């Protein structure tokens, strides 16, 4: 349920208000980590207070501060002062559940992305907010587990190009992680859809429909949160203002391709689930038809026969004075004749149903 509405301040609140930390007051304190690197140097530590990092900021290195968990307004305010973040952007960090978007304020690139995560049977979507400046990057992730560990390892080990490039390449590396997390999520959903389709064709039941409905809903949610990511990447690539080097834009273009592939899969899944609902409805109709045919065959054969035996259950025969009073009862072959007639009727009925292909 929490998926469908973003957090918001009461209408009329002054823009840029950070306010109190969002309701879940029992939230854990967020973990803040710092990585500071150049091609040759590398430093990594967990920050207890933000003051510890003032030193690194002055140096000519790339400083990456990552805040994991729900950020408190105080921490955010301190970060805002330290890196001169825009108040409207900070409000979007606090009011999680935002639509992915990008904005460019005073030489800083601000990006919000959606990070989908399979959590048991449901899919959660976390908000990732990133500020990228000339020589720093501040990132926020409002979930419990940090998805960026592999990037940290690459930084530590000096693998690939990552230590040789600036904060724009680091931003790419983080966006790439967030976007690519869509693939395992979609793979899981795809497997569920395949299973459901097989269930639908072989032994459809009431639960199958509910399951389809649940998957359709999940796809709807994912679509809403992932669709704008394509636009975000497109803006970063095309916008003249964004200060990202041409050699790095190739990497962003690769990211963009991934968002397109993800949306493509989502749309295909949506079409597949729609087809499945059709198939389900058809198979329900089919089964109803089959049921009704059984009833009709049985009923139309036996109802006339029951009528006939009813006739000879009438008590007119007791009237011995009238020759019109059920003389059949006294015929020598009366009883077998009735059976003959009834067998003939049943056979005719069956023949007709056979010809109509009813069974």
- How far apart are CB 16 and its own copies at their closest, in Å? 8
Identify the residue among 119, 122, 150, 340 touching its own copies (CB under 8 A): 150
Site string for its own copies, 216-255 (x = CB under 8 A): xx--xx--x-------------------------xx-xx-
Site string for its own copies, 5-24 (x = CB under 8 A): xx-xxxxxxxxx--------
Buried/exposed code over 318-355 (b: 16+ C-beta within 10 A; e: otherwise): eeeeeeeebeeeeeeeeeeebeeebeeeeeebeeebee
Identify the residue among 47, 57, 82, 162 touching its own copies (CB under 8 A): 162
Q: How far apart (Å, rounded) are the C-alpha atoms in residues 152 and 35?
A: 8
> With binding defined as CB under 8 A, does residue 122 bind its own copies?
no
Q: What is the DSSP letter of 301?
A: H
Contact residues for 311 (Cβ-Cβ < 8 A; gap 6+) = none
Stretch that binds its own copies, among 58-66, 119-127, 235-243, 289-297 (CB under 8 A): 289-297
Restricted to residues 293-332, the positions that interact with its own copies (CB under 8 A) are 293-296, 298-300, 302-307, 309-319, 321-322, 324-326, 329-332
Structure tokens at 221: 């949610």
Structure tokens at 287: 């089964």
Restricted to residues 13-72, the positions that interact with its own copies (CB under 8 A) are 13-16
| Residue 272 CA: distances (Å) to CA of 189, 206, 277, 279 | 12, 19, 9, 10
Nearer to its own copies, 77 or 86 (CB): 86
Structure tokens at 325: 């009073």
Nearer to its own copies, 64 or 269 (CB): 269
- How far apart are CB 293 and its own copies at their closest, in Å? 6
């Amino acid at each position: 349920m929490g998926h469908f509405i973003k957090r918001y301040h009461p209408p009329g609140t002054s823009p840029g208000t950070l306010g109190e930390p969002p309701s879940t007051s029992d939230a854990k304190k967020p973990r803040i980590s710092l990585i500071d690197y150049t091609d040759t140097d590398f430093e990594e530590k967990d920050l207890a207070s933000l003051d510890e990092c003032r030193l690194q900021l002055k140096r000519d290195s790339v400083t990456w501060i990552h805040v994991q968990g729900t950020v408190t307004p105080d921490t955010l305010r301190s970060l805002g002062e330290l890196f001169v973040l825009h108040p409207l952007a900070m409000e979007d960090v606090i009011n999680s559940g935002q639509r992915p978007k990008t904005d460019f304020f005073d030489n800083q690139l601000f990006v919000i992305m959606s990070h989908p995560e399979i959590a048991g049977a449901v899919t959660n979507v976390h908000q990732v907010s990133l500020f990228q400046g000339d020589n720093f990057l501040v990132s926020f992730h409002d979930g419990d587990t940090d998805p960026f560990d592999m990037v940290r390892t690459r930084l530590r080990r000096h693998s690939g190009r990552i230590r040789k490039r600036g904060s724009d390449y680091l931003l790419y590396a983080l966006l790439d992680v967030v976007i690519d997390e869509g693939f395992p999520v979609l793979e899981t959903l795809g497997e569920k859809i395949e299973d459901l389709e097989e269930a639908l064709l072989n032994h459809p039941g009431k639960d199958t429909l509910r399951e389809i409905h649940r998957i359709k809903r999940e796809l709807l949610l994912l679509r809403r949160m992932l669709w704008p990511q394509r636009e975000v990447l497109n803006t970063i690539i095309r916008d003249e203002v964004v200060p990202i080097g041409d050699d790095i834009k190739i990497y962003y273009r690769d990211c963009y391709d991934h968002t397109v592939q993800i949306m493509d899969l989502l749309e295909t899944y949506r079409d597949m689930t729609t087809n499945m609902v059709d198939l389900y409805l058809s198979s329900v109709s089919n089964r109803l038809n089959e049921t009704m045919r059984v009833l009709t065959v049985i009923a139309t054969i036996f109802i006339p026969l029951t009528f006939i035996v009813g006739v000879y259950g009438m008590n007119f025969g007791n009237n011995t004075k009238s020759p019109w009073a059920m003389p059949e009862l006294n015929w020598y072959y009366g009883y077998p004749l009735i059976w003959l007639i009834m067998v003939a009727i049943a056979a005719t009925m069956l023949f007709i149903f056979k010809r109509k292909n009813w069974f």
